[in-house]
Amino acid sequence: MEHSFKLTFNQKQTALAIKVSEFAELPTALRQISLGDSRPILVIVGGASQISDADFLRIQSLFVEVLAPIAETLGAYVVDGGTDAGVMRLMGYARNQINAQFPLIGVVPIGKVVLPEQTTTPSDHASPLQADHTHFVLVAGNDWGDESPWLVEVATVLAGEYPSVTVLINGGEITFADALNSVTAGRLVMAIAGSGRTADKLALAVDGNTTDELATKLAASGKLQTIDLDAEKEELTKTITNLLSS
């Protein structure tokens, strides 16, 4: 584990970051970046691909009108994949839009991201970090998906005895791994039905309408629930808030 350091995106946006290589380092590392207290945890996984413009706006509204306000009201930590793409970009955008103060923590594989002011790209298909995040945990890894077990572990350490929930929106193959890791850790996964791809496959599994082996396994765990993207904002807010307030 290295010492923490500051990332500067522009004059107004900075974030604290730390590099870790072993799970055992996380409690100390998180304290080093001023994340020493426990709070409710909202984990965001998934993607925002292969969707229409209209569906994208619906998903964006979910972040701005539901997820970010829940985190702000509860003073929760939000943990996601931290890059400037998909649901991570939407989470950062939503935090900015409502002028929120909740900590937004990105967990990213060091070999696949471009840090601010970095002049060389670490690998093909590397991504920049999302600038509205307040903290980053840079973990060992050179491929997308290497961060998946770390994301779950960061959330577990931060939550302590507080409740936590993983909200799954759209997503591809890595999102299945994210869901399985959350379930294995005992964390409830809330799949947003109607957001596409993996989320919809899991929603079908909950209803018993799929032959997908992994989706069926996740549904049988008792740790997978669904709620429809088209549900009233009040219902979405109440459902997720209750899970984080139990």
DSSP string, 41-74: EEEEEE---S--HHHHHHHHHHIIIIIHHHHHHH
pLDDT of residue 62: 97
User: What pLDDT, on the 0 to 100 scale, is given for residue 120?
Assistant: 72
Q: pLDDT band at residue 221, thresholds of 50, 70 and 90?
A: very high
CA–CA separation, 145 vs 100, rounded Å?
A: 28
Residue 170 CB neighbours (<10 A): 27
Percent of the chain with pLDDT over 90: 85
Q: Which domains does the chain have, with CATH numbers?
A: 5-245 (3.40.50.450)
Instruction: Summarize pLDDT for 88-129 with one digit per residue, the tens.
Output: 999 999 999 999 999 999 999 999 999 987 767 666 778 999
Strands (E), 111-176: 113-114, 127-128, 135-139, 164-169
- Provide the pLDDT for residue 110: 94
Each residue's pLDDT tens digit, 2-26: 789 999 998 789 999 999 999 999 9
Residue-wise pLDDT for 122-152, tens only, equals: 667 789 999 999 999 999 999 999 999 999 9
Return the closest-CA partner of residue 240 out of 58, 56, 68: 68
Tell me if 224 sits within 8 A of 191, measured CB to CB.
Answer: yes
pLDDT (tens digit, 9 = 90+) per residue, 36-90? 999 999 999 999 887 888 888 999 999 999 999 999 999 999 999 999 999 999 9
Residue whose C-alpha is closest to residue 80's, from 172, 159, 176, 147: 147
Mean pLDDT of 177-201: 95
